[in-house]
Structure 1
Amino acid sequence: MWTDTRPAVEMPRLFERGGDTVSFAGGLPDLDVLPLDAISRQMSALVRLGGRVALQYSTPHVAQALLPAIVDLMGREGARPDAGGLVPTSGSQMGLMAVGLALAVPGETVLVQTPAYPGAAAAFRTAGLRLHALPRDARGPAPEGLRETILRLRGVGRTARLVYCNPTFQNPTGATLDVDRRRELLAVADELGLLLIEDNPYGLLGFAGETTDTLTALAPERVVYLGTFSKVFAPGLRCGWIAAPPEQAAALRRTTEVMALSPSALAQAAIAAFHARSGWTELIDRYRAAYRERCALMTDALERELGDGGQWTWQRPQGGFYLWLRHRGGLDTGPLARAAAERGVSFVPGSHFRIDGEPSNALRLCFSHVPRERIAAGVSRLATVLRGDAA
């Protein structure tokens, strides 16, 4: 199953920070909203009273105590997961790797929503899969384009059964597929026997509290769902899950056991204890408010610095972590990233989100973790580079 294929997509160094640089690069959550004193007390009690279990190896199953936390989260977007189909992971990135290894064979083609999350592209390529762009239109991934592409690939002898998408507050564009389009894609999947891989880290982070039914809520038999606590709780615990149809769950469980032997019993217990005491509503609301404020500060600053009708276009996100800028004239943003670094601001060039290795006229800005008081200054530095008037 393993191959010597190397990832063709370089993972950007998203989490490096230092000096006076204002980082709009990495998608880090704002952990200032966490009730750290309460979490500290809960974890202390957990280790003191149950440390011999929490610090031991465990089985490759979601702990019974953690099930209510997962059911609660998924239920907010319309899903009703079956406990037998839940597979623990150390986060969605592990889930992506497990999907590539367990549900496909090297040489298969996976259709990928583009622009694509680089971690998904790297995971699938490392598993030996071939990537193909999922056709899109103004509303997002296009059902008729999906049908035509699958039939064309199969017509030349290529196996194409998997479709990867990030349908809610997508990384990197921030876009969300409407429910009608989701149903249309699922109808094509049912017609052609496809399995959709739904990556959903940001679905509960709509600024106004709105949610959209997940693909797995609409057609659980056609979807392998990747869930994570990294964006609604804390990434440092490295805890997530896969919700899969029974026929896929067994293969995924075997693969994740090979990858990690067992999930972290401590991480699962800590999250379960937090949810049992506090639930999710208050914490998610605090995250939403923090990101709503930062997004407004960033978009307001961009409008002041770059104005309407200029060379750069963007849409104000309604949730998630990211803002996607595009240059009307097709300017390659790769060199701009180096120029911006010299001015003390960082972002991720759009080329990192392509699957063909070509330059891009887009760039991604992340607002989720930037100190509020530094957003305007960072945008001002960035605008100097984007306008082309840097010294």
Structure 2
Amino acid sequence: MNKIAYLQDWAVRYFHQTKFDLATSGLPWQGTALPARFDAARWLRASAHETNLALRERLAEHCGAELACVFPTLGATNGIFLLALALGRSGPVLVESPAYEPLWRSFEAFGAELRSFRRIRQERYSLGASLEQAHRLSRGCACVVVTNPHNPSGQYDSPGVIRALAEAVAPAWLVVDEVYTPFIPGAVSAWGVAQNVCIVSSLTKAYGFDFARCGWVAAPPLLAEQLERAQYYTPGLFPSAVSAVALTALEDLGAHYRVVSAHVAGRADRVDQALAESSRLAWLRPAGELIIASVELLGVEDDQRFARVFMAAHDCALAPGSFFGEPGTIRLGFGALPEQFDPALPLLLDFAEHYRE
């Protein structure tokens, strides 16, 4: 089993040790963000079976799916792992590129043959521009795995595009990681757009519940039968404490999002203006209110060296794009709190102007 280099060699090693932060890809936990109506005593009286069933029922309602089709997972990444456990030996797996490394490492760990199709920067990473490529490469595949919105670029494809992709890769399952969808005003889930679509999501990125690690998978009945068996190889009954937090948050996710995202309001506009004035950095503005984006380092090939030198000089975290299969870029994350983010952006702009390989 290979290590997940982005997590082990970079994120875990650096991100929580720096003073400033241009890497955070989710909204941070804020102690006041737990809903006031959270009733700890109520959940202490409930059994693991009761909380697990209650969470599955609530997630099924949230997704618009049947109870038997929804499975709580320890974050979205564990949802991908659960799918890999169920499908990893069923045939080749086609994964988008650039890609978040755990998407494909999970399937690799179970011995799957990996294939990749390219999301094209010049086409704003649109899946619609890659339909023919995905159709050709998906022949014989057990599943095709994508993110929407795309990680690392932050671009978003409509349900119509996802439907077209599902049709192009059928009969393979189309797995859509939707963990960033709440950042897109008016966006809807891909659940139900085609019979071969399953979705993965969580409360960790958009709602500040990284500490709770509550995610889920929704899958069509035939695949759900395999996931029902696979779940007992991972958490089994979902942790009661996580279920309790998730159930409370799910009562009004919209209100909760407004609370925990207030500090990033208007931030994309400020980043857009700053990068427009740079001769060394270029980006495609992410969709909606998203807090991740791919930033091109003009004239730079070794993005990891760029990030290391910048971190050493300014005590600020960066995520090199080469870990996502896109050398010469960084995945800019701007979800951090103001005291970690606001001073850091000018430092990056100045550093990029003077940096030479």
Shorter-normalised TM range: 0.7 to 0.9
Could you state the TM-score of these two structures normalised by the residue count of structure 2? 0.86
Report the secondary structure of 2:49's partner residue.
coil
- Of 312, 322, 329 in structure 2, the residue corresponding to residue 342 of structure 1 is 312
| Distance across 2 between alignment mates of 1:100 and 1:20 | 33
1:272 and 2:247 equivalent?
yes
Aligned amino acid, residue 387 of structure 1:
E
Instruction: Decide whether aligned partners of structure 1 residues 267 and 18 sit closer, same or farther in structure 2, where only a CA change above 3 A counts.
Output: closer
Aligned to 1:292: 265
Shift of 1:19: 6.4
| Distance across 2 between alignment mates of 1:241 and 1:37 | 21
Structure 1 residue runs without a partner (length 5+): 75-79, 152-158
1:122 and 2:105 equivalent?
yes
Structure 2 residue runs without a partner (length 5+): none
Instruction: Decide whether aligned partners of structure 1 residues 171 and 292 sit closer, same or farther in structure 2, where only a CA change above 3 A counts.
Output: farther
| Distance across 1 between alignment mates of 2:213 and 2:178 | 16
Aligned length: 347
Aligned to 1:176: 156
Report the secondary structure of 1:89's partner residue.
strand
Instruction: Decide whether aligned partners of structure 1 residues 111 and 372 sit closer, same or farther in structure 2, where only a CA change above 3 A counts.
Output: same
Report the secondary structure of 2:199's partner residue.
strand
Aligned to 1:204: 182
- Of 126, 141, 150 in structure 1, the residue corresponding to residue 138 of structure 2 is 150
Q: Is the 8 A contact 1:298 1:376 kept in 2?
A: no
Aligned to 1:386: 352
Aligned amino acid, residue 196 of structure 1:
L
Shift of 1:214: 2.8
Instruction: Decide whether aligned partners of structure 1 residues 33 and 288 sit closer, same or farther in structure 2, where only a CA change above 3 A counts.
Output: farther
Aligned residue runs from structure 1 range 97-112, under 5 A: 97-105=81-89, 108-112=91-95
Aligned to 1:255: 230
Aligned amino acid, residue 263 of structure 2:
A
Identity of aligned residues (%): 20
Q: Is the 8 A contact 1:172 1:364 kept in 2?
A: yes
Shift of 1:203: 0.5
1:163 and 2:133 equivalent?
no
Instruction: Decide whether aligned partners of structure 1 residues 330 and 232 sit closer, same or farther in structure 2, where only a CA change above 3 A counts.
Output: closer
- Of 281, 286, 289 in structure 2, the residue corresponding to residue 319 of structure 1 is 289
Aligned to 1:363: 330
Q: Is the 8 A contact 1:205 1:284 kept in 2?
A: no
Could you list the per-position Cα deviations for residues 62-118 of structure 1 after superposition, in whole angstroms to 9, with x for gaps in the alignment?
52355335523x3xxxxx211111112111111111111112307x42111121012
- Of 23, 27, 30 in structure 1, the residue corresponding to residue 28 of structure 2 is 30
Aligned to 1:155: none
Instruction: Decide whether aligned partners of structure 1 residues 70 and 302 sit closer, same or farther in structure 2, where only a CA change above 3 A counts.
Output: farther
- Of 49, 53, 63 in structure 2, the residue corresponding to residue 58 of structure 1 is 49
Aligned to 2:41: 45
Report the secondary structure of 2:142's partner residue.
strand
Aligned amino acid, residue 53 of structure 1:
A
Could you list the per-position Cα deviations for residues 349-380 of structure 1 after superposition, in whole angstroms to 9, with x for gaps in the alignment?
111102xxxx70111111112x3244342122
Aligned amino acid, residue 131 of structure 2:
P
Shift of 1:177: 1.2
Could you list the per-position Cα deviations for residues 4-37 of structure 1 after superposition, in whole angstroms to 9, with x for gaps in the alignment?
x324644254355566631222324233385347
Report the secondary structure of 2:306's partner residue.
helix
Higher mean alpha-carbon deviation, 197-206 vs 317-326, is at 317-326
Could you list the per-position Cα deviations for residues 242-298 of structure 1 after superposition, in whole angstroms to 9, with x for gaps in the alignment?
11111111211221211223211222133223444xx22211233454333333343
Instruction: Decide whether aligned partners of structure 1 residues 229 and 296 sit closer, same or farther in structure 2, where only a CA change above 3 A counts.
Output: same
| Distance across 1 between alignment mates of 2:324 and 2:223 | 28
1:14 and 2:14 equivalent?
no
Shift of 1:185: 0.8
| Distance across 1 between alignment mates of 2:329 and 2:295 | 5
Q: Is the 8 A contact 2:143 2:175 kept in 1?
A: yes
Instruction: Decide whether aligned partners of structure 1 residues 99 and 69 sit closer, same or farther in structure 2, where only a CA change above 3 A counts.
Output: closer
Aligned residue runs from structure 1 range 224-263, under 5 A: 224-233=198-207, 234-263=209-238
Report the secondary structure of 2:94's partner residue.
strand
| Distance across 2 between alignment mates of 1:364 and 1:88 | 28
Instruction: Decide whether aligned partners of structure 1 residues 99 and 346 sit closer, same or farther in structure 2, where only a CA change above 3 A counts.
Output: same
| Distance across 1 between alignment mates of 2:4 and 2:246 | 35
The two structures, once aligned, show a CA RMSD in angstroms of 2.8
Instruction: Decide whether aligned partners of structure 1 residues 162 and 32 sit closer, same or farther in structure 2, where only a CA change above 3 A counts.
Output: same
Could you state the TM-score of these two structures normalised by the residue count of structure 1? 0.79
| Distance across 1 between alignment mates of 2:56 and 2:350 | 48
Report the secondary structure of 2:115's partner residue.
strand
Q: Is the 8 A contact 2:98 2:118 kept in 1?
A: no
Report the secondary structure of 1:84's partner residue.
helix
Instruction: Decide whether aligned partners of structure 1 residues 322 and 340 sit closer, same or farther in structure 2, where only a CA change above 3 A counts.
Output: same
Instruction: Decide whether aligned partners of structure 1 residues 295 and 339 sit closer, same or farther in structure 2, where only a CA change above 3 A counts.
Output: same
| Distance across 2 between alignment mates of 1:241 and 1:374 | 30
